[in-house]
């Protein structure tokens, strides 16, 4: 009994209580669907879960940096779709090479992140209001640029369909998982081992004390939003590679899946606490729910209903842990 408690305490100390519970929840949810439906137990289902995780995962990784500062970014979903739309128009209507259009998507996402960073860090706008405005701007801009028409990226098998192999090969191998892991590792290194990460955590813990210690708070808080924008651009590339056709004026709601994944993974909405590993676990929980529910004859909109409860429980659990630490 004592050995079990010791093992649990070691895991809790190494991984973190909230991340550990999230990981256990992921295993339990996956096992539940696997037991409930024989059809769920297939390689195609795993590929579908991964396909649903790539773009949400990139969005969530970026917004993790923002939430750790104590902010929020509601624009990442529509920025993702807007970036993809503009990149698609540059390629299909203006004849840009595909590689340059994909690079433009990343740049556009970064520029939206820079705009958010300037409004929040430089001009002091509340993050909720600033990013809500950017969400509306990006959603409208995608419709203006595309003339309210869908944009289709090159399909697999065509001369320029090579980019699809970045996330899934022709024989259905999920190469996107490798990309997601690489990006997650790089983000974790930046967050935990670099000056950027240290200052982002410091801003989230106590912004005024960080400023008084001589840190350029405007610069580093703004950097968090730029990272969020670049991640939204990367998510746009992943979405285009996975689904090909992009509809203008869409993307709102995707930020909620990303933020839910971040919160479930143990990042505190109060700021100062968070991890990329926890975020990835949270994203996979969201994706397994999304793909798994139809296998037990529940429509995907039930995911919203369940996710709402999950987020409330995760936030309450974070508050509970913080209160206990103060005692």
What does the pLDDT average to over 287-295? 89
**What are 242-277's pLDDT values in tens digits?**
887 888 877 888 888 899 999 988 898 888 889 999
What does the pLDDT average to over 298-304? 75
- Spatial neighbors of 282 by CB under 8 A, at least 6 apart, are 22, 60, 260, 261, 262, 263, 264, 265, 266
> What pLDDT score was predicted for residue 294?
87
**What are 159-208's pLDDT values in tens digits?**
777 888 888 888 778 888 899 999 999 999 999 999 999 999 999 999 99
Q: Write the CATH number of the domain with boundaries 46-317.
A: 1.10.3470
> What pLDDT score was predicted for residue 325?
64
What does the pLDDT average to over 295-310? 79
What does the pLDDT average to over 228-238? 95
Residue 327, pLDDT above cutoff 70: no
Residue 13, pLDDT above cutoff 60: no
Identify whether the C-beta of residue 51 lies closer than 8 Å to the C-beta of residue 166: no
- What average pLDDT does the structure give for the chain? 88
**What are 215-226's pLDDT values in tens digits?**
999 999 999 999
Using a 10 angstrom Cβ sphere, with 0-12 exposed, 13-18 middle and 19 or more buried, the burial of residue 320 is: exposed
Identify whether the C-beta of residue 73 lies closer than 8 Å to the C-beta of residue 239: no
Confidence of residue 109 (pLDDT cuts 50, 70, 90): very high
> What pLDDT score was predicted for residue 1?
53
Closest-CA residue to 283 (of 25, 60, 71): 60
> What pLDDT score was predicted for residue 160?
78
> What pLDDT score was predicted for residue 57?
95
pTM comes to: 0.91
| CA–CA gap between residue 241 and residue 185 (Å, rounded) | 22
Share of the chain above pLDDT 70, in %: 93
User: In the block, which residue shows the tokens 């970026």?
Assistant: 62
């Amino acid at each position: 009994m004592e050995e079990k408690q010791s093992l649990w305490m070691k895991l809790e100390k190494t991984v973190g209580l909230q991340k550990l519970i999230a990981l256990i929840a992921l295993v339990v949810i996956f096992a539940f669907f696997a037991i409930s439906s024989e059809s769920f137990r297939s390689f195609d289902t795993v590929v579908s879960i991964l396909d649903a995780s790539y773009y949400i995962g990139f969005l969530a990784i970026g917004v993790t940096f923002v939430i750790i500062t104590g902010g929020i970014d509601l624009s990442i979903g529509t920025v993702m779709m807007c970036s993809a739309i503009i990149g698609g128009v540059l390629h299909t209507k203006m004849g840009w090479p595909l590689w340059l259009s994909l690079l433009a998507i990343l740049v556009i996402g970064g520029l939206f992140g820079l705009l958010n960073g300037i409004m929040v860090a430089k001009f002091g706008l509340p993050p909720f209001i600033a990013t809500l405005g950017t969400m509306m701007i990006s959603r409208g801009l995608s419709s203006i640029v595309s003339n309210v028409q869908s944009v289709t990226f090159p399909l697999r098998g065509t001369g320029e369909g090579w980019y699809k192999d970045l996330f899934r090969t022709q024989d259905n191998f999920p190469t996107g998982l490798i990309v997601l892991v690489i990006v997650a590792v790089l983000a974790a290194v930046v967050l935990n081992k670099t000056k950027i990460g240290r200052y982002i955590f410091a801003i989230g813990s106590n912004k005024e004390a960080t400023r008084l210690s001589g840190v350029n708070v405007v610069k580093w808080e703004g950097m968090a939003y730029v990272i969020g924008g670049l991640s939204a651009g990367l998510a746009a590339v992943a979405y285009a590679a996975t689904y090909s056709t992009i509809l203008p004026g869409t993307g709102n709601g995707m930020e909620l899946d990303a933020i839910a994944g971040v919160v479930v993974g143990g990042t505190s909405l109060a700021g100062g606490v968070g991890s990329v590993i926890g975020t990835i676990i949270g994203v996979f929980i969201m994706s397994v729910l999304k793909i798994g529910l139809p296998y037990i004859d529940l429509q995907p909109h039930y995911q919203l209903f369940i996710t709402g409860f999950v987020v409330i429980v995760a936030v309450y659990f974070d508050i509970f842990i913080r209160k206990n630490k103060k005692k």
